[in-house]
Structure 1
Amino acid sequence: MASLDATSADKNIVDRRRLPRNKDLTDVMRGARDRLMQRAGSRQFDRELLFMHTRALIINSATIPLLIAMIVVSGVFAGFEQTIVPWAAFAIGLYAILGLLARRLEKTGVTDEEIRKWQIIYLSGHFMTSLGWACFTFLDCTTCGASLFPVVKAVVIILAMAITAIISSALRAAILAAFTLPVLTYTLLAWKHFDNPVQATMVIMLVAGLAFFYLVATRLNQSVAMSLALQAEKDGLIAELETANAMSDEGRRRAEEANLAKSRFLASMSHELRTPLNAILGFSEVMAKEVLGPINNGTYREYASDIHASGEHLLNLINEILDLSRIEAGRYSINEEPLMLTDIASECIHMMNLKARNKDIALVPQFETGMLRLNADERSIRQILLNLMANAVKFTPPNGKIFVKIGWTAGGGQYISVRDTGPGIPPEEIPVVLSAFGQGSIAIKNAEQGTGLGLPIVQALVHIHDGEFHLFSKLREGTEALATFPRGRVLPNARALQKRLLQKSAA
């Protein structure tokens, strides 16, 4: 058996299912990220790195001058302020020039043609600061001891390297421009004392430190590149989200306009069509029954009957459209009251018996005993049963059978089942017949003319009663329509409830 729940995708102007991202857009964003990751030939990448380096210099403009000031304070206490103070002024002045260059770039901006020029300017500025650290290697402290002060100088230069590597990671060559000269001068000055293991160790540490911090700057530079790529993708996602929101707003606006237009049309149709149709039905019935006198021409009587039948068909169509429209708009009101499904089913079977007998079809009631009352709308339940039985009669061939079952569900609720011995429905067509105005291929070929609204209305009415509707069908074996109602709508037996209340009061 094939079973599919009803879907209402055809009723939605905007599909609310989560759609996959557009493939072309994904490819474009991936290409942009790859281009950003290329260090050479990407002006956007180089410009972003240049501005990141500029912001880092401005934000940390006082970091290395503060380190120099700490060195000056230590040198004054060590007793060689006559040489260290002029050096500190010279070194801080060089860093001030580098900071002024950064503020100028931030103020004026840079074009694509100026990116390379400013990179060279920054590297030149960092090379100028290397002059200050090279001069630092020439400082001497006679009171500090022959082996202690070279170690202090090496440690200070390594510390300055670390700070520069972090600050200037967006321009990784800055670490080489700022400290290659100081390392060389320190190595040359220590060359004559290279037999001293302390001096040799300091030279090795400086060379290794320069290589290590250049590697650190390279890794940080790659992290910056990845952050730029992620930022580009985030911007793309934001743009995509804004586009989707705009499309959603436009879709909602169009849906609201379409719904308003539909409501106005249906309201007009309700009045403008049903009023003349009632007159047509009344007069055609009067003519067909010859109330005002005999009609000598039998063809005219047949025409009057045809007019009446066509008018009733059109009126039923209008009523079904209006019912479905009210249900979809949430304006279909129900009057809930206790009722017996078996009683309503018996009445509906009696109403459909004449039509079924005309096709030699047997309506077989199968009601379980001990059914309790259900809290539901009688008009809706009657419409559910009549629509299901009318469909079954329509598609069941002569000498067929239709089984109308009323019973209990496994969860304590109640169900209505209408099963026929008709041709069945192909599994792929079940969603079609459950959609508004949908008709299967067998219905189009073999059955009487229909509107395609019966099953959608049944499905909607069942859902209004918190129930579920399922359609089971197999080709050449028949179809079963099953409507289930939850346990919460089943009213307890009055006598059993009274007995239970008396037992509680006695206890």
Structure 2
Amino acid sequence: MVTAAEVASTISSDPPSRIARRRLIARALIGNASDTENPLRQLFHFEQEMADTFAKNRLSSAIVIPVLVLIMAFALALLGSPYLALGWATIMLGAHAFALHACRRFLREGVKRATLANWKRRFVLRDFIYGLCWALFPLLFPLSENPEMANGLAIIRLAAVIVVLSVGALLSSPIPAAAVAGTLPIALCMAAVHIIDPTFFNIMIALATLGAEILFLHLTGHLYEQNAQNLAYRAEKDAIFAELEQSKAVSDEARRRAEAANMAKSQFLATMSHELRTPLNAILGFSELMRAEMLGPIDNPAYKDYLDDIHNSGQHLLKIINEILDLSRIEAGKRELREELTSLTAIAEEACALLELKARQKNINVIEVLDPGLPRIVVDEQAIRQVVLNLVSNALKFTPPGGEVTVKVGRTQAGGQYVSVRDNGPGIAEEEIPIVLSAFGQGSVSLKNAEQGTGLGIPIVQALIHLHGGNFTLRSQVGVGTEAIATLPSKRVVSPFTQDNRSWTAPQPKPVKLRKSA
């Protein structure tokens, strides 16, 4: 069994990054050890794996060993007495069958912590009996008075013994004690046979036999360490896979809860927006009636100012609720596109016309760079109009009086179409662009220099463009200005063929329309 010192020395030799993994391995190999036990002393599963490997190695030699025994018995029969060779072969095959029976029973019945040590002792004892049977082999060689014949027999016997030692060390490497018990008797017997007649040749044969035994036992130790390392790596792999699976399960559960929470939030916002918009429409309606004095004149000027404040505040609140409702519907997946054939240039012209009064009030020059020769495009016209209105309105809001806003509509290199809105306002810091693109996010410079808002305009634009399969890009530099680019894919652009399938002629290039409003 692996001792605490052996495992501790193995762990201490690893770099610090692997020590934590080794602890996982130790826990994986310990099994049912109690908390009061030293986990490094009873690596039950580790020892069980080694015992299983030993038994399987033995069973894999069920044919090889009998063939080797029969070959050696045949050689002995040719050199000496056939009866001694037959008797030795019978004993060897019986010992081999005795050892195989124990291995089959071990693998068939399984093993528990209490019986593992007993099974290992049985394996060592049966290998010792097995080794004693092999030890009879050097004694069966006949003596020869011819020195050359005797030396030749000694070399043949040494070669046979080395083969036996190598096979025994290889098969018993998972249990080093069994390897010693199975190979040491034949090595000692071989050395003793040659030491009895202490000639130089015999002494060299004896030393060669003992050296081979030491070498094979050393190799057995290396094989044992290699098996232990393989088991450790396998346990480490299993521990890492288990940790990854657990982390994946936790991540999947967290993602599921986050998606459920986000869906619940979106549904709540959508519901509350509807509930708030109903009484707000009544407030706006009655305030509009009172401002128009449809039910009678209002003589107090202060009341008229109050009515204007009520109406303007209601309009602002309604805009905020509509934005929240739009974003909630998009996030909840309930915003469906109503696609139709339209012109992106016409939508941009209409949006700029609607915001022309606001631009004049702030003394902002709006430059329209529009291409009237653009082919029509299949989009949700209301959604794209909202995109352009939000972008232009945002640019007007952040541009100081006397500034300039450029609205450009054109083609992309990939065949799509784009709307670009550029201003020369305060700009946005690069690290704050992800904040601006998130819901309710606003940059620090924007908060200081522009009108207050909800921070939903840009996220709604981004979501609507993504619904169309397009891309939204926001470029900005502090002190220079900001450019927002909404790109629609080429698959939405309609081919310039006529609708009645008549022959198509290439359109003549048209001049770009340039208009200024101030």
Paired position in structure 1 for 2:34: none
Alpha-carbon distance between aligned partners in 2 of 1:384 and 1:267, rounded to the nearest angstrom: 20
Paired position in structure 1 for 2:380: 377
Q: CA deviation at 1:110?
A: 5.2
Give 1:419's match in structure 2, choosing from 422, 435, 444: 422
Deviations along 1:394-449, one digit per CA (max 9) or x if unpaired, are 11111111111112333333221111111111111000000111111123333222
Q: Which moved more, 1:380-389 or 1:253-262?
A: 253-262
Alpha-carbon distance between aligned partners in 2 of 1:36 and 1:260, rounded to the nearest angstrom: 41
Q: CA deviation at 1:474?
A: 0.9
Unaligned runs of 5+ in 2: 1-15, 30-38, 507-518
Paired position in structure 1 for 2:304: 301
What is the 5 A alignment of 1:389-408?
389-408=392-411
Alpha-carbon distance between aligned partners in 2 of 1:301 and 1:93, rounded to the nearest angstrom: 118
Give 2:159's match in structure 1, choosing from 155, 177, 184: 155
Q: CA deviation at 1:285?
A: 1.5
Report the residue type matching 1:109 in the other structure: V
Paired position in structure 1 for 2:282: 279
Q: Which moved more, 1:220-229 or 1:323-332?
A: 323-332
Residues 168, 183 of structure 2: 8 Å contact kept: no
Q: Is the counterpart of residue 176 in structure 1 residue 180 in structure 2?
A: yes
Residues 131, 183 of structure 2: 8 Å contact kept: yes
Q: CA deviation at 1:470?
A: 0.9
Give the SS at the match of 1:43.
coil
Q: Is the counterpart of residue 349 in structure 1 residue 352 in structure 2?
A: yes
Paired position in structure 2 for 1:473: 476
Give 1:358's match in structure 2, choosing from 346, 351, 361: 361
Q: Is the counterpart of residue 138 in structure 1 residue 142 in structure 2?
A: no
Residues 288, 302 of structure 1: 8 Å contact kept: no
Give the SS at the match of 2:193.
helix
Give the SS at the match of 1:189.
helix
Give 1:165's match in structure 2, choosing from 169, 177, 183: 169
Give the SS at the match of 1:220.
helix
Report the residue type matching 1:28 in the other structure: A
Q: CA deviation at 1:500?
A: 4.4
Deviations along 1:278-308, one digit per CA (max 9) or x if unpaired, are 2222122212222222223333333333332
Q: Is the counterpart of residue 457 in structure 1 residue 460 in structure 2?
A: yes
Q: Which moved more, 1:231-240 or 1:124-133?
A: 124-133
Q: CA deviation at 1:383?
A: 0.7
Q: Is the counterpart of residue 29 in structure 1 residue 31 in structure 2?
A: no
Deviations along 1:260-281, one digit per CA (max 9) or x if unpaired, are 5235424533542322222222
Q: Is the counterpart of residue 447 in structure 1 residue 439 in structure 2?
A: no
Deviations along 1:14-60, one digit per CA (max 9) or x if unpaired, are xxxxxxxxxx99752144559999xx965314454344334434554
Alpha-carbon distance between aligned partners in 2 of 1:300 and 1:53, rounded to the nearest angstrom: 100
Residues 28, 239 of structure 2: 8 Å contact kept: no
Paired position in structure 1 for 2:515: none
Give 2:111's match in structure 1, choosing from 101, 109, 112: 109
Change (3 A) 1:63 1:325: farther
Report the residue type matching 2:486 in the other structure: A
Paired position in structure 2 for 1:435: 438
Change (3 A) 1:55 1:306: farther
Q: CA deviation at 1:83?
A: 1.2
With normalisation by structure 2, the TM-score equals 0.80
Alpha-carbon distance between aligned partners in 2 of 1:214 and 1:338, rounded to the nearest angstrom: 86
Alpha-carbon distance between aligned partners in 2 of 1:74 and 1:288, rounded to the nearest angstrom: 125
Alpha-carbon distance between aligned partners in 1 of 2:472 and 2:215, rounded to the nearest angstrom: 72
Paired position in structure 2 for 1:190: 194
Residues 79, 141 of structure 2: 8 Å contact kept: no
Deviations along 1:166-213, one digit per CA (max 9) or x if unpaired, are 22121234333322332232223234666586x677556534433443
Give 2:493's match in structure 1, choosing from 471, 484, 490: 490
Report the residue type matching 1:483 in the other structure: A
Residues 263, 331 of structure 2: 8 Å contact kept: no
Larger RCO (CA under 8 A, 6+ residues apart): 1
Paired position in structure 2 for 1:258: 261
Change (3 A) 1:396 1:108: closer
Alpha-carbon distance between aligned partners in 1 of 2:321 and 2:17, rounded to the nearest angstrom: 46
Residues 35, 42 of structure 1: 8 Å contact kept: no
Change (3 A) 1:304 1:55: farther
What is the 5 A alignment of 1:193-342?
203=206, 206-262=209-265, 264-342=267-345
Deviations along 1:319-370, one digit per CA (max 9) or x if unpaired, are 2223223323443222333322222111111111111222222222122453
Alpha-carbon distance between aligned partners in 1 of 2:345 and 2:352, rounded to the nearest angstrom: 10
Aligned length: 475
Residues 384, 461 of structure 1: 8 Å contact kept: yes
Alpha-carbon distance between aligned partners in 2 of 1:91 and 1:248, rounded to the nearest angstrom: 61
Q: CA deviation at 1:117?
A: 7.1
User: How many percent identity over aligned positions?
Assistant: 42
Change (3 A) 1:244 1:161: same
Paired position in structure 2 for 1:71: 72
Report the residue type matching 2:349 in the other structure: S
Alpha-carbon distance between aligned partners in 2 of 1:48 and 1:256, rounded to the nearest angstrom: 45
Deviations along 1:58-102, one digit per CA (max 9) or x if unpaired, are 554565345324434555576733212332333344445544555
Paired position in structure 2 for 1:21: none
Paired position in structure 1 for 2:129: 128
Change (3 A) 1:399 1:156: same
Change (3 A) 1:67 1:35: farther
Alpha-carbon distance between aligned partners in 2 of 1:394 and 1:490, rounded to the nearest angstrom: 31
Change (3 A) 1:95 1:244: same
Over the aligned positions, Cα root-mean-square deviation in angstroms equals: 3.5
Residues 74, 85 of structure 2: 8 Å contact kept: no
Change (3 A) 1:262 1:195: same
Q: Which moved more, 1:485-494 or 1:181-190?
A: 485-494
Deviations along 1:202-241, one digit per CA (max 9) or x if unpaired, are 5565344334433432332222122111111112122112
Give the SS at the match of 1:273.
helix
Q: CA deviation at 1:471?
A: 0.8
Paired position in structure 1 for 2:35: none
Change (3 A) 1:134 1:228: same
Alpha-carbon distance between aligned partners in 1 of 2:339 and 2:402, rounded to the nearest angstrom: 38
Alpha-carbon distance between aligned partners in 1 of 2:96 and 2:41, rounded to the nearest angstrom: 29
Give the SS at the match of 2:158.
helix
Residues 76, 140 of structure 2: 8 Å contact kept: no
Give the SS at the match of 1:332.
coil
